[in-house]
Amino acid sequence: MTRRPFLAAMSAFGLAPGLAAAQPAASKIAPLVLSDAQWKQRLSPAAYQVLRHEGTEYPGSSPLNKEHRKGVFVCAGCDLPLFTSETKFESGTGWPSFYASIPDAVLTKTDVKMILPRTEYHCARCGGHQGHVFDDGPKPTGKRYCNNGVALKFIPA
């Protein structure tokens, strides 16, 4: 199927606007580029699968679900601060969830691996896959950044 019939089909289901809405934004953060071998050496096998191959950890498997101290959540690949503890909330999904990221810390793109488009987000420095953002979160943003815990490290304040 070429792009035009695909977009026409998506329009019929009201999905085409979502494809254009979540395009990557330009980052102000200098990128960290490593070889695949360097990433494998730097990361645990689980973190490598999630961060470098857009995998997903099992829900409820992350110790960060129970992390309630003040501090910052950083990318497990490059230590870029992504979320503050003040924005963490219990979503009931089994993954650490946040209602806002630190400004300019994440970049988004459209993910259509599950047919319906979703907004995927990555670390702005290393490009590591973190999770997906949804519009069903709490105030003040209404967003839910659903993050793989293995893609994060917590640094207490």
The verdict on whether 146 is a catalytic residue reads yes
Q: For residues 60 and 109, what is the distance between their CA atoms, to the nearest angstrom?
A: 25
Q: For residues 26 and 52, what is the distance between their CA atoms, to the nearest angstrom?
A: 20
DSSP code per residue over 23-92: PPPPPSSPP----HHHHHHHS-HHHHHHHHH---PPTT--GGGG--SSEEEEETTT--EEEEGGGEE--S
133, 121 in Cβ contact below 8 A?
yes
Q: To the nearest 10°, the Cα dihedral for 25, 29, 33, 36?
A: -60
Catalytic residue among 75, 123, 126, 146: 146
The residues annotated as belonging to the active site are: 146
